Amino acid sequence: MHTVVLGAGTMGRDIAHVCAVAGHEVTLRDVDEGALTTAREHIAANLTGGVERGKLSEKDRSAALDRIATTTDLADAAGADLAVEAVPEDLELKHAVLSEAESVVADDALIATNTSSLSVTSVTDALADPTRGVGLHFFNPAYVMELVEVVIGERTSERTRERAEEVVVDLGKQAVTVTDTPGFASSRLGVALGCEAMRMVESGVASAADIDAAMELGYRHPTGPLELTDLVGLDVRLDILEYLREELGERFRPPQVLKRKVRAGKLGRKTGEGFYVWSDGEPVRPADR
């Protein structure tokens, strides 16, 4: 299978990694040469990590790397069977990238968007044949996370749905199929839990650390909802909440504590403080006790 990944940023490079390990010939395309260089280094380093952890052999590592071609020239994607778009979350940009891709890939290619918050129906609207458009929502880091949401737009055909689910399984991932609704399945539920946890901190129910411990120890969540908010970024969570509130109603109204922290630049791990204070990539003490 020949796969073109459009956009070599955080998601695109890891999606290219996953496809190459699964045996696809991958064309990783970006408009920025620098992003391609960084992507190649990043993929090589992560594959090396995989060898060190015994996940793949040295031979498989170099074969996977050999299957990835990086380019700024979309013509290199000619005849591809699968296109996965991972450019920034901007509808006009995604429209331009998808219709450009459609003009070079195979006539029966599957054309996927990795959007996390836009409507898949609106994104794939730009296609001359929107029945082959679908959402493939990978999670970060894509080479580690098992879940891929297969998002079915209004015009996605049954055949496209089946093929998309097959692709996900071939990539060694688990497919969860959802209709094109705001927040899909994962963000909607994850954000709802995070939002309630923040309100609990706000009203003094318990500290962030104790709320997280309740979910980790009592419900077997690998990471509590507040630590997860710090990992994702409080600004990112706030944007998602504002969008879900607009689409789904007041139950997604962002808590004041979240807005206050974002205004103060306390965005979580990336700035060193959010609901926790962070040091060397680890939460060191609860900030809200």
Given the rule CB under 6 A, which of 53-61, 111-119, 208-216, 265-273 is the region that contacts ligand NAD? 111-119
Query: Shortest distance, CB of residue 139 to ligand NAD, whole angstroms?
Result: 6
# of chain residues touching ligand NAD (CB under 6 A) = 23
Asked whether position 136 contacts ligand NAD by CB under 6 A, the answer is: no
Nearer to ligand NAD, 7 or 153 (CB): 7
Asked whether position 37 contacts ligand NAD by CB under 6 A, the answer is: no
Q: Measured between alpha carbons, how far is residue 64 from residues 26, 136, 195, 214, 235 in Å?
A: 9, 21, 40, 41, 35
Nearer to ligand NAD, 140 or 279 (CB): 140
Q: Which of residues 213-242 bind ligand NAD (CB under 6 A)?
A: none
Given the rule CB under 6 A, which of 3-11, 42-50, 242-250, 279-287 is the region that contacts ligand NAD? 3-11
Q: Which of residues 60-99 bind ligand NAD (CB under 6 A)?
A: 86-89, 93, 97
Query: Shortest distance, CB of residue 206 to ligand NAD, whole angstroms?
Result: 28
Nearer to ligand NAD, 74 or 195 (CB): 74
Query: Shortest distance, CB of residue 32 to ligand NAD, whole angstroms?
Result: 4
d(CA 160, CA 156): 6
Asked whether position 116 contacts ligand NAD by CB under 6 A, the answer is: yes
Structure tokens at 183: 């927040």
Query: Shortest distance, CB of residue 235 to ligand NAD, whole angstroms?
Result: 13
Q: Which of residues 139-168 bind ligand NAD (CB under 6 A)?
A: 140
Find the binder of ligand NAD among 1, 9, 46, 51 (CB under 6 A). 9
**Which residues bind to ligand NAD, rule: CB under 6 A?**
6-12, 29-32, 35, 86-89, 93, 97, 114-116, 138, 140
